[in-house]
A = this chain, B = another copy of it.
Amino acid sequence: MSKSTQREDHLKALYALGESQSSSWVSTTQMASHLGVKPPSVTAMVQVLAELGWAEHRPYHGARLTPTGRKLALSLVRKHRLWETFLVDRLGFGWEEVHDIAEQLEHVDSVALVERLDAYLGHPQTDPHGDPIPKADGTFHPEGEVLVLAELDPLVCCEVKAVREGSDATLSAMSAKGIALGSVLTPAQIEALPAAWLDQLMVCKTVDDGSID
């Protein structure tokens, strides 16, 4: 009893949901909705992960990764983001097309493959959505400070650094509006953006605001 696509996806969900909130304890309902399955299925899987030593399960409370489970989850995130980078940078896919494909590729089991792919891509630090790529040892490159666009208080020029949680359709719409990683947004442009995007776009203030002076 060991790795499988399903177990790996549950592990990743546990990691992603645990990171996205204050407590690392994740409810089975949360996971179920994230993974598109029913809560009893998650309960069953979480119990398996617990037997494998990859997660802790406190009944009626939630589940969280063990250190071992976290390492495995990070290696999956690494693979997912490296493959996304390959698909966009080398094969020319749009950033809205790659998630589902990487969701499959991440489960290919070969340490040599991941490491060669990483080298081939030039050891990228972020994926096409601006998300950081964990290193082989499970640590991250020091990340530049970013803030969510919604919290940019005095509306100033800023540069798009990442897009969080975007559906493929949203990513597509952003592309159509000329938004990509590295795009500089002016206050006027920001005001014209759909409200929902403000919670998804991660930016940093630009020193040079791009205006004529």
- Chain A residues within CB distance 8 Å of chain B: 87, 90-93, 97, 100-101, 104-105, 107-110, 112-113, 116-117, 120
Contacts and interface: CB of A to CB of B under 8 A. Distances in A.
A112 B97 contact: yes
B112 A93 contact: yes
A55 B117 CA distance: 37
How many chain copies? 2
A108 B113 CA distance: 15
A9 to B, nearest CB: 15
The 6 A-B pairs of least Cβ separation, nearest first, read: A91-B116, A104-B108, A101-B110, A101-B113, A91-B120, A105-B108
Contacts of A101: 108, 110, 113
Nearest to A92: B116
A92 B113 CA distance: 10
A97 B116 CA distance: 13
Nearest to A101: B110
A58 B97 CA distance: 43
Nearest to A117: B91
A190 B42 CA distance: 60
Contacts of A108: 101, 104-105, 108
A209 to B, nearest CB: 38
Contacts of A100: 110
Given A90-B120, A91-B116, A108-B108, 16 more contacts: A87-B113, A91-B113, A91-B117, A91-B120, A92-B116, A93-B112, A93-B116, A97-B112, A100-B110, A101-B108, A101-B110, A101-B113, A104-B108, A104-B109, A104-B110, A105-B105
A180 to B, nearest CB: 20
A116 B120 CA distance: 18
A91 B91 CA distance: 14
Contacts of A90: 120
A121 to B, nearest CB: 10
A193 B113 CA distance: 32
